[in-house]
Amino acid sequence: MPKNSVVFPFPQDLREAQLALHRTRAECEEYARTLPWSVEPMPGWEADKQLHSTYVSAKPESPGYSDEQAQRIADYRARLLELSIAVSTHPFWETVDSGDVVAARMALKHAHES
């Protein structure tokens, strides 16, 4: 049987932790897109026009993150770290043959799709 068609018996708690990791990362990225470009207040800037192009790199002034925004990002990062550790150190990985760990890890990332 080819390695890419191996079915791994992932425990439910591992599947749930991986799904929570996916969802939390997506929520964090979505939220981060709404934030100012700089954590700290920074003046806007505009670079010189690029040679042989009309593109001019620029950023507007950034007010920086509010205390609430900074705390929310910190909370997301703490949760992502917690979930990453839970997934990567789960006892299930000790049961997988060393040659199949990468395939199992990739399969887990997509287990919620089935």
Query: Domain segments of the chain: what residues?
Result: 8-113
Of 63, 86, 77, whose CA–CA distance to 25 is shortest?
77
Global pTM? 0.83
- Per the prediction, the chain carries an average pLDDT of 93
- DSSP for residue 50: P
pLDDT tens digits, 53-109: 888 889 999 999 999 999 999 999 999 999 999 999 999 999 999 999 999 999 999
Neighbour count for residue 5 (Cβ, 10 Å): 8
